[in-house]
Structure 1
Amino acid sequence: MADRRVGVLWSSAAFAVRLAWRADRRALVHVVLVQVLLAGAMAGGLVVVQTVFGSVLAHGPAAAGRSPVVVPAVVVLLVAGAAAGALRLSGAARMAVLTVKVDRLVAGMVLQAAAAAELPRFEEPDFHDGLQRAVFASRRQPAMAVVLLVTAFQAALTVLAVGGAFVLMAWWLLPLVLLGAVPGIRAAGKERDAHHDLHHGLSEGRRLREYLEQLLTGRQEAKEIRALDLGAVLTGRWQDQYAREVRDTEALLKAHARRRMAAQATGGALTCLAVGALWWAAARHLLPLSVAGTAVAGVWLLSVRLNAFAGMLTGIGENLLRLTDLWSFTAAGPVAPAAATAPVRQQLPSPRNELGPLRAERLSFTYPGADSPAVREVSLAVEPGQVVALVGVNGSGKTTLAHLLAGLYPPDSGRLLHDGTPITDLRAHRARTAVVFQDFTRYKFPALDNVGFGRPHGTADPLRVLDAARRAGALDFLQRLPAGLDTPLGKEFTGGADLSGGQWQRLALARAFYRDAPLVILDEPTAALDAHAEDQLFTSLRGLFAGRTVVLISHRLRSVRHADRIYVLRAGRVVEEGSHKALLRADAHYASLFRTQASAYHDTNTP
């Protein structure tokens, strides 16, 4: 286990160096070069101090000023000290720039990996735990790892440099000084592993806490939180989750603080033993007094650096182990470049290129962690230019089937064919599909962006945006916004405006019109519209999407009467198919559902 952790640490350290190199290689080289020069200066300083000390002892303090060695040596030390100060300032400035660039690079990597993950991953708790840990690791952890690695590199160079000078003076004490650092290094390693294990164990609790924070601070959630008086309950749950983390962290720190103090005491005792040995050797004239005095300074400097190095190991190891969370999460996708680049543009098909026949053959799909399939061996066919409806009660599999047809989920079994050819590239299939979800996203960006996101890899065309808004019935209210299409759609932003639920739904429809894709999937596209607006939309649906293939999902059966073909789902299976009239004549599940809904509008039970 220990060997595996050491291997992981070395791999993570290499990963951190690659990140820094990719973020700004010139800054990294500059910082490392500064540390090398500073370590060399420290070793040289010890040799110079030993020379001056020897001269003073040889000639006496009164005659030291006339020594041909003392004055030049002091001048060298002063000049070297000033140069070292300038070097430190230069290295610190470049290090600050490097950390900012590493932060940007890593945050971009996490966002890129999250955006590239396929939709089924978002159904898995492990994915969300990994994402939470990667986000946590990306928040200055890589930059901090780089800083700590550079600091550790400096400490290691100093130890080597001072140790090299020490060998020339009293080599036989070097093993004793190095041995004094072993207890601290061992204690730091155990604390590092304990911190990492605790961090992993707290992942889901932290996600729950973040969700509670979102509920308590979100503008959309605010009204219901107050209407139900949930504030105190949710705050209490947040406190409980945080209390668990505080309790576990406190217990860990207490346990390891005792180990660290014991290790430090042991190291201090060994350092005192080394100084005593030097004193004993000088008293018996086994070492020149100048060498013994400089060696005492060397012992002190070496022990301080070794203790600092051992102290840094906990922070370094913890940061490096957290980098493994970042590494494992982003490994599936390419590393984002350090400089911003234009996004890869997906060319949507021209609206003149009609979609060929779309056919599903025995599609089945089960959500991760679910006990039973949401869709079971469904087969259907959609011809170009047709309007096909999927209907059924809640939980019948309509929306899941629509997600499969849109290429958002790969089927567990069965296949999807376009023009007789199996669809294997789901990204390419999504590029020729426009989807309006029942739970569409309300982007709190300017109205121009909200519609223009239909074709995101390019600059939004205001004229085309206005045309899409007109076809969706959104033009009137968009033109009345304070800044027109440039108005942010959220009161949280300066100059922002709110929209009603029905207006947001029309905006989502406008996004689909702007995308201008040959396959259009509408999942309850009128859920927030009034009855009159709903009738207008469905009456004009075929004209609005002329030349497109439309898959329509609605639980309001009166809205699908004019569809070319209706597929009726029940428990994930297609139990009936046909036109509205044919299904009524069959007098089966569809007819029963239709009569039930019609009874709410008429006094008779017959349609």
Structure 2
Amino acid sequence: MTSTDIDKQADEEINFAWEGDSRWEAAKYITLRHMAGRLPHLMRRSLSIAWRVDRPSVVGLLACQIVSGIAAALGLFATTSTIAALISSGNISDRLWEAWPSVAVLAAAAGIRATLFITVTWLSSRIAPRVQQEFELMLLEAATGSELAAYDSPGFRDRWDNAERGAIVSKDIIEEGQDFLAAFVSLMAGAVVLGVLHPLLIPFLLLASLPQGIAQVHSARVSYLASVKMVGHSRMIGVLRWHLADRHSADQIRAGTMAPFLLDKYRRLTHRVTDVHRQSVAEGARMAFLGALGGGLASAVVWGLLIALLATGHLTVAAAGTAVLALRTVTGSVQGVVRNAAMIFRTGMYMDDWSKFLEETGGHRLAVGDVIPGGPEEVRAENLVYRYEGSEKNALDGIDFTVRTGEIVALVGENGSGKSTLSRLLTRLHLPTSGTVTWDGHPTTSLDPHAAWKHVSLVPQDFSCWPMTARDNITLGQPHSDDEKDIWEAASAAGADEVVRELRSGLSTLLAREWLNGAELSGGQWQRVALARAFYRPAALLVLDEPTSALDPRAEHRIFANLRRAARDRAVVLVTHRLANVAVADRVVVLDHGRVVQEGTFEMLSKAPGLFRELLELQNDRTVPAQRRAAKGPGL
């Protein structure tokens, strides 16, 4: 396979469009008129969030901009009086004395505007971090408010990445908004002065700003489209960078001599992103040049008009001098308004991604029922079907299953048989594609999910190792009335008490070697902590998915010896490949390709022909093939 073929394959893996996504097509038709229509909405939305996090600073910013505009206008009007006094006939001392009030106004206006600029910078720096924090918190709340199925959906991660980009750049819109307001206020002040001097200057001035406005909007569109196109590549670059530098991958990278391969992949991806970025920059520069050329020609027309008005006596020399200063001010302000409006518009496109994610949660908003359940005494699945989004076949197909309080039911089967999927449906983490899962007769689709999860205790295969203290890793922020006693009881049941007692500061030890004084646990020690958090949680439904995969025989025996006691007031679902361990279960349910193929006690299934007995025999068979053939005799 050639390098081109590899790149093409990578494009197919990373670049994809998801059904219903309209950003790409919509962005192609962004125009100056569209920007002008969207700008008030973007400013209003940003100000509303800024108002929520820091009202005094917002009031201060708006007041500063208004006062700055008034000072700019007074300064320009004072310029006319100053010039008129200086060029009039008469004694120079008299003329200077006549001009000093105007000069004082000019100096005061300059001083006020300089002070206000410092104040605006200070207030903007106060608000921007708070605004970004609010955007990020709202985004995280939306993410935790999505169905678990969202993470299995193609395109969800891309929607999240674009929304996260919107949250990150949200602070920029505060500074961009202030720059826009400053330029706009300066523009209004200059326009008022020009309008007083001669109204004909205003429409020509607006005409001069049009070419640059079109160029700036085009550049914003090109930049945004480049970002959308490369979002998958950028995420892959981040993942590769994390793996290349992370300690958990370090041994595999070295032992597998993977560094050259990974670095080459990283290099090719970054080159592709850089090429797209360069293309967008080149296109933006081309449009900026054309906009500047058009703006320059239009400005020449405006200056020609000014000279014509002066030559025909429609403007005095003093007024013309003021007009020259006003034109310079207004020209710079027009450029500032257009430039900052385009920047706000570009930032706003990312913020639209953020806003849309909040509204739709990536298309997977959490379905909230109106039933507030208690701890279920019976969890039942009937004719249950589940299919992952984008898959062509069912992960579960026609499942009937029941688990009751005081009962341990084991789910066994080969990889991909649907055991973990079924456990997530029972806990309401997934909702059925068809069929039902009920808690004491209430379908999980009718339950309030947050209320339901209060009665669930789950230890998944890939449990989280939180960079927190041992206490927080067990309680996860949910203390009991007798917190310390309950923590140690749960830790003892999981065998984690031995782990905690060996730590330097006991329950107060930070379990993260990456931080100063943090401790590092082995995989088996972490699994004991994960089990302790499950036993600590007073939940009616306990689901253990491969709970002892990393434990030694002594620790494993301790867990299963305590499991029967834990099941006295809970319904327990045990998912495991270690078939000897399911002897603790009251019933064993065998899954194969998403269907229940056997059900019964351990003793019954271990003697009856079927998949369970076959897997049990294979698990207990530790002879090598040659020895097996020899035991069976020649020819066999």
Q: Is 1:574–2:596 an aligned residue pair?
A: yes
Aligned partner of 1:340 in structure 2 is: none
How many angstroms does 1:87 deviate by?
2.0
Aligned partner of 1:12 in structure 2 is: 42
d(CA) in 2 for partners of 1:254 and 1:26? Answer: 42
1:41 corresponds to which of 35, 48, 71? 71
| Greater mean alpha carbon deviation, residues 201-210 or residues 234-243 | 234-243
1:51 corresponds to which of 70, 75, 81? 81
d(CA) in 1 for partners of 2:479 and 2:208? Answer: 60
User: 1:200 corresponds to which letter in structure 2?
Assistant: V
User: 2:160 corresponds to which letter in structure 1?
Assistant: L
Aligned partner of 2:23 in structure 1 is: none
Aligned partner of 2:274 in structure 1 is: 246
How many angstroms does 1:134 deviate by?
1.6
User: 1:370 corresponds to which letter in structure 2?
Assistant: S
Aligned partner of 2:10 in structure 1 is: none
User: 1:449 corresponds to which letter in structure 2?
Assistant: D
2:329 corresponds to which of 273, 295, 301? 301
d(CA) in 1 for partners of 2:560 and 2:140? Answer: 38
Aligned partner of 1:509 in structure 2 is: 531
Give secondary structure in 1 for the equivalent of 2:200. helix
Mapped contact 2:469–2:508 kept (Cα < 8 A): yes
Cα deviation 1:249-272 (Å, max 9, x = unaligned): 111221221221122122223223
How many angstroms does 1:136 deviate by?
1.8
Give secondary structure in 1 for the equivalent of 2:199. helix
How many angstroms does 1:224 deviate by?
1.2
Aligned partner of 1:29 in structure 2 is: 59
Aligned partner of 1:155 in structure 2 is: 183
d(CA) in 2 for partners of 1:274 and 1:64? Answer: 35
d(CA) in 1 for partners of 2:543 and 2:623? Answer: 28
Mapped contact 1:138–1:326 kept (Cα < 8 A): yes
Q: Is 1:391–2:391 an aligned residue pair?
A: no
Aligned partner of 1:92 in structure 2 is: 121
How many angstroms does 1:275 deviate by?
2.4
1:525 corresponds to which of 518, 541, 547? 547
Query: CA separation of 1:459/1:34 partners in 2, compared to 1, >3 Å: closer, same or farther?
Result: farther
User: 1:218 corresponds to which letter in structure 2?
Assistant: D
Give secondary structure in 2 for the equivalent of 1:376. strand
How many angstroms does 1:396 deviate by?
0.8
How many angstroms does 1:236 deviate by?
1.9
Give secondary structure in 2 for the equivalent of 1:312. helix
Cα deviation 1:166-220 (Å, max 9, x = unaligned): 0111222222222111000011111111111111111111111111111112221
Cα deviation 1:68-102 (Å, max 9, x = unaligned): x4122222222232222222222221111011211
User: 2:104 corresponds to which letter in structure 1?
Assistant: V
d(CA) in 1 for partners of 2:91 and 2:241? Answer: 70
Query: CA separation of 1:460/1:271 partners in 2, compared to 1, >3 Å: closer, same or farther?
Result: farther
Mapped contact 2:85–2:96 kept (Cα < 8 A): no
Mapped contact 1:50–1:290 kept (Cα < 8 A): yes
User: 1:402 corresponds to which letter in structure 2?
Assistant: S
Give secondary structure in 1 for the equivalent of 2:397. strand
Q: Is 1:447–2:470 an aligned residue pair?
A: yes
Mapped contact 1:354–1:384 kept (Cα < 8 A): no
How many angstroms does 1:600 deviate by?
3.0
Query: CA separation of 1:2/1:251 partners in 2, compared to 1, >3 Å: closer, same or farther?
Result: closer
Aligned partner of 1:133 in structure 2 is: 162
Aligned partner of 2:578 in structure 1 is: 556
Query: CA separation of 1:532/1:108 partners in 2, compared to 1, >3 Å: closer, same or farther?
Result: same
| Greater mean alpha carbon deviation, residues 161-170 or residues 231-240 | 231-240
Mapped contact 1:448–1:462 kept (Cα < 8 A): no
Structure 2 unmatched ranges of 5 or more: 1-28, 362-371, 632-636
Aligned partner of 1:233 in structure 2 is: 261
Cα deviation 1:296-326 (Å, max 9, x = unaligned): 1111211111122222233222111111111
1:432 corresponds to which of 446, 451, 455? 455
d(CA) in 1 for partners of 2:223 and 2:307? Answer: 41
Q: Is 1:416–2:444 an aligned residue pair?
A: no
Q: Report % sequence identity.
A: 30
Mapped contact 1:354–1:547 kept (Cα < 8 A): no
d(CA) in 2 for partners of 1:398 and 1:17? Answer: 49
| Greater mean alpha carbon deviation, residues 124-133 or residues 169-178 | 169-178
Mapped contact 2:495–2:555 kept (Cα < 8 A): no
Aligned partner of 2:5 in structure 1 is: none
d(CA) in 2 for partners of 1:601 and 1:559? Answer: 21
Q: How does 1:334-349 map to 2 (within 5 A)?
A: none
Query: CA separation of 1:292/1:12 partners in 2, compared to 1, >3 Å: closer, same or farther?
Result: closer
d(CA) in 2 for partners of 1:414 and 1:108? Answer: 36
Aligned partner of 2:107 in structure 1 is: 78
d(CA) in 2 for partners of 1:43 and 1:574? Answer: 81
Q: How does 1:147-296 map to 2 (within 5 A)?
A: 147-296=175-324
Cα deviation 1:448-505 (Å, max 9, x = unaligned): 111111x537899333212211111111221111111111112111111211111111
1:466 corresponds to which of 466, 469, 488? 488
How many angstroms does 1:332 deviate by?
4.2
Give secondary structure in 2 for the equivalent of 1:521. strand
Q: State TM-score, norm by structure 2.
A: 0.87
Provide the alpha-carbon RMSD of the alignment. Answer: 2.4
d(CA) in 1 for partners of 2:392 and 2:481? Answer: 45
d(CA) in 1 for partners of 2:348 and 2:90? Answer: 53
Query: CA separation of 1:581/1:324 partners in 2, compared to 1, >3 Å: closer, same or farther?
Result: same
Query: CA separation of 1:459/1:86 partners in 2, compared to 1, >3 Å: closer, same or farther?
Result: farther
How many angstroms does 1:386 deviate by?
0.4
Aligned partner of 2:514 in structure 1 is: 492
Cα deviation 1:205-256 (Å, max 9, x = unaligned): 1111111111112221222112112222212212221211211111122122
Aligned partner of 1:593 in structure 2 is: 615
Aligned partner of 2:402 in structure 1 is: 381
Aligned partner of 1:337 in structure 2 is: none
Mapped contact 2:480–2:486 kept (Cα < 8 A): no
How many angstroms does 1:64 deviate by?
4.3
User: 1:247 corresponds to which letter in structure 2?
Assistant: D
User: 1:164 corresponds to which letter in structure 2?
Assistant: V
User: 2:485 corresponds to which letter in structure 1?
Assistant: L
Aligned partner of 1:310 in structure 2 is: 338
Structure 1 unmatched ranges of 5 or more: 334-347
Mapped contact 2:493–2:559 kept (Cα < 8 A): no
d(CA) in 1 for partners of 2:480 and 2:250? Answer: 35
Mapped contact 2:377–2:540 kept (Cα < 8 A): no
d(CA) in 2 for partners of 1:218 and 1:467? Answer: 35
d(CA) in 2 for partners of 1:507 and 1:223? Answer: 25
Q: How many residues align?
A: 586
Query: CA separation of 1:331/1:309 partners in 2, compared to 1, >3 Å: closer, same or farther?
Result: same
How many angstroms does 1:60 deviate by?
4.8
Mapped contact 1:357–1:419 kept (Cα < 8 A): yes
User: 2:494 corresponds to which letter in structure 1?
Assistant: A
Aligned partner of 1:338 in structure 2 is: none
Give secondary structure in 1 for the equivalent of 2:380. strand
Give secondary structure in 2 for the equivalent of 1:59. coil
d(CA) in 2 for partners of 1:459 and 1:253? Answer: 61
d(CA) in 2 for partners of 1:457 and 1:466? Answer: 12
Mapped contact 2:494–2:558 kept (Cα < 8 A): no
Mapped contact 1:8–1:321 kept (Cα < 8 A): no
Mapped contact 1:55–1:64 kept (Cα < 8 A): no
d(CA) in 2 for partners of 1:436 and 1:601? Answer: 33
User: 1:269 corresponds to which letter in structure 2?
Assistant: L
Q: State TM-score, norm by structure 1.
A: 0.91
Give secondary structure in 2 for the equivalent of 1:106. helix
d(CA) in 2 for partners of 1:25 and 1:198? Answer: 36
User: 2:284 corresponds to which letter in structure 1?
Assistant: H
Mapped contact 2:542–2:570 kept (Cα < 8 A): yes
